[in-house]
A and B are shown apart, each in its own frame.
Chain A
Amino acid sequence: MGFEPIKILYSLLSLFIIFNIGMLINGITRKIGARVGRRHGIRFYQPYIDLVKNYALRSNITHGIMFYLGPVFRLTGGIGVYLFVPAIYGSEYFGNFSFAGDLVLITYFIFFGTLGMALGAGEGGHPYSAIGISRGLAQVTAAEIPLVIAFLGAAIQYQSLSVTEMVALQQGGIQNWTLVTNPLLTAVALIAYLGTMMRSPFDIVLAPQEIPIGPPTEYHSTFLGVLQTNRAIFPMAKTVLFMNVFFGGATNWGVLILKVFLIYMWSVFVGVVFPRFRVDHSIRWFYKYALPLGLVALAATSLLIK
């Protein structure tokens, strides 16, 4: 496959579309949360206004170079995950930059933003940032283990580390999806998904009432704008990845939006129903339930393959 400059334009377009899907889903999610609390809640386009406002603030202050780079790393993590996931299966132009073995790279990128943010927020110097970071890294690490186990299981099942090939093998109807062929593994993946989405019950990292918003305590104006942009892209990128590996991928934007919305709603509905875990609870929960379940699923997958 040669290099085609037009692919860059299509990737940017793809990124733009996923950004807007993310922004709208963020708004709708807040709306759903409000409705559960019997409120009307924000307008569904409020995230756009907030974003414009934050980018348009007249003053900002910095705490050093890493403070600058933190949000940039975070956004790089989000965009990186998205650009290496084939968004639309079979599309010549919306397949992004996926290649053989990309699952390893994507798993790395998922963690990349968190680490960058940790360094950046650390330089902010606020004690609440430091508390938020230590909680965040501990929890993400705990959730990452079942996540990696789930991806590993999928890789074993499809005998490939390429997301595109995994999607290819799931084509032809719902009976070929990993969800149906390997429900246990999908269950583990969905549990890990909850842990990485920063939603209740796993949102102690941000905990606005306790440690004012955690790592981004010191972030404001443009910095916060970049983080908000990433809040739209990163969860969507992760959801698209899950859709590809466990839910049969998508062959056009309509299917993608529907599937992404439904998968995302899983974390939202769990979030509005269950209250927040403390960080020690959530880590223990992942090790106690998600990890053993993951190991069982992994063993089952290996047997299934034979």
Chain B
Amino acid sequence: MSSKDLEKRRVTGPDGEQFDVDPMQDYFCQERPKEHEPANKVWESFLNWARAESLWILGYGTGCGAIEMRPLMTPRFDAYRYGIQWRPTPRQSNVLVIGGYLSVKTLKRVIRSYEQMQGPKYVVALGSCTINGGMYWDSYNTINRLDKYLPVDIYITGCMPRPESLLAGFEALKKLIKEGKGEGQNLYARNFDEYKANQKKIIRDWDMPDYNW
């Protein structure tokens, strides 16, 4: 998709019918993300327990750290025991696992995937690349601090982290959620302009709408 595809235009249908297409209006949502107030305390803590015990993961595996995510599904580590399951689509996932460094190109896709997820949603950043750039810190096309572009809930350090430390990271995330501190979605909505400004600074060819969930 290029930015030209987002322009308003007149299209001729298969049977000669003419109609106007405005992709920004027709294909994408034009609403800003909203903050969602938690419910009352007792009920919310029950819901948080359910959210913590049912982590549905969207694995974003463009970095090398993603290779450590696969063993979690295998008999040896078997993360399913802890209520961690993989979902194939962003719509149904709650946890976005960033598997290592992000280039300018992949950051764009990460943002789109993140915004398509329904909240409460959490971001787990994997490997030292997401914290300070790691071994790619002076590369011309990777970002150094993921936190500037998306609200990260948990960092799992290492280059790369072993599957055991991933499991430990997920357990820590569960603890955060149960304490009611997994409010990354609200943080993103509150500081939306700041996040967007940061994202646009990196992504020069911004050929997508600002809000696309």
Q: Do A and B bind each other?
A: yes
Contact A57 B80 (CB under 8 A): no
Among A22-70, those with CB < 8 Å from B are 34, 37-43, 46, 49-50, 52-53, 56-61
Q: Which residue of A lies closest to B91 (CB)?
A: A220
Among A174-225, those with CB < 8 Å from B are 208-209, 212-213, 216-221, 224
Contact A219 B80 (CB under 8 A): no
User: B residues within 8 Å of A by Cβ?
Assistant: 29, 34, 36, 47, 50-51, 53-54, 56, 74-75, 78, 80-81, 83, 85, 87-89, 91-92, 94, 118-120, 185, 213
B-facing mask of A213-252, CB < 8 A → 1, else 0? 1001111110010000000000000000000000000000
Interface centre among A38, A59, A213 (most CB of B within 10 A): A59
B87 contact set on A, CB distance < 8 A: 213
Contact B92 A56 (CB under 8 A): no
Least distance between B1 CB and chain A CB atoms (Å): 14
Contact B81 A43 (CB under 8 A): yes
Contact A41 B80 (CB under 8 A): yes
How far does the alpha carbon of A211 sit from the alpha carbon of B36 in the complex, in Å? 32
B51, B74, B118: which contacts A59 (Cβ < 8 A)? B118
User: A residues within 8 Å of B by Cβ?
Assistant: 34, 37-43, 46, 49-50, 52-53, 56-61, 208-209, 212-213, 216-221, 224
Majority-rule SS of A interface residues: loop
Contact B78 A39 (CB under 8 A): yes
A61 contact set on B, CB distance < 8 A: 29, 118, 213
Least distance between A63 CB and chain B CB atoms (Å): 10
Least distance between B112 CB and chain A CB atoms (Å): 14
B36, B75, B91, B213: which contacts A217 (Cβ < 8 A)? B91
How far does the alpha carbon of A217 sit from the alpha carbon of B36 in the complex, in Å? 24
